[in-house]
Amino acid sequence: MVKIITVYGLLLLQAMGRTLLLALLGLFFACFIGLIFGMMGVVKNRVANIISQIFVDAIRGVPMIVLAFFVYFGVPYFFNTIIGGFSVSLSALSAGTICLALNCGAYMAEIIRAGIQSVDIGQMEAARSLGLTYGMAMRKVVLPQAIRTMIPTFINQFIITLKDTSILSVIGFPELVNTAKNVQANTFMSFQTWAIVGIMYLIVITILSRSAKVIERRLSVGR
């Protein structure tokens, strides 16, 4: 145990850094994807509703490991070999970010859609009756109230996404699990290695979920 920490500790910490980087990048883009498809799910437009639903169903219906292989190997193969004439290649980081953004974005879209729909329709009607446009009413009245109910679920989704980065070890991105595999291969100390990795995840995620509780309590004060 001590040997792994002294010899490989820095390596594992750096790998944890890359895990967090990947998770943050994925989350950043997931927010946009979630907002776009979430809004498309609530606007009064059948086509937008259907597109949003298809996106969410498609991403939720595919395991992320399959999505990862598809984006990292499948998409370049499609352009370079099936169509031909391209030389597309994705780094493991970009492919991983795309996978996380799509996967987490689909869940965020559902969270945003449900959050908006949880706000009483009377709020929108009152805003519109004063002459505000749909966009103004959404930005100034509905979304601020929806976000309050969404934040705890968001943080929960962040935690899931952080854990899901481990799946991306399969496409060779040197995040924590992938790095730990190498440590184990070098030292043969599988018990110690995986115990340390487990504790590292546990610490980061516990900090996240504790702060989620604090934020949740702060938000409920003004109610």
5 binds other proteins (CB under 8 A): no
Q: Are 54 and 122 in contact (CB under 8 A)?
A: no
CA dist list (Å): 194 to 57, 80, 128, 188: 34, 38, 56, 11
Chosen residue from 3, 60, 140, 213 binding other proteins by CB under 8 A: 140
Size of the site for other proteins (CB under 8 A): 20
Residues with Cβ within 8 Å of residue 102, at least 6 apart in sequence: 30, 33, 59, 67
216 binds other proteins (CB under 8 A): no
85 binds other proteins (CB under 8 A): no
Q: Residue 27: exposed, middle, or buried by beta-carbon count in 10 A (0-12, 13-18, 19+)?
A: buried
Q: Which is nearer to other proteins, 145 or 166 (CB)?
A: 145
Residues with Cβ within 8 Å of residue 144, at least 6 apart in sequence: none
Q: Which is nearer to other proteins, 4 or 116 (CB)?
A: 116
125 binds other proteins (CB under 8 A): yes
Which span sits near other proteins by CB under 8 A: 73-81, 93-101, 143-151, 193-201? 143-151
Distance between CA 159 and CA 186 in Å, rounded? 30
Chosen residue from 46, 122, 188, 214 binding other proteins by CB under 8 A: 122
222 binds other proteins (CB under 8 A): yes
Contact residues toward other proteins (CB under 8 A) are 120, 122-123, 125-133, 136, 140-141, 144-145, 148, 222-223
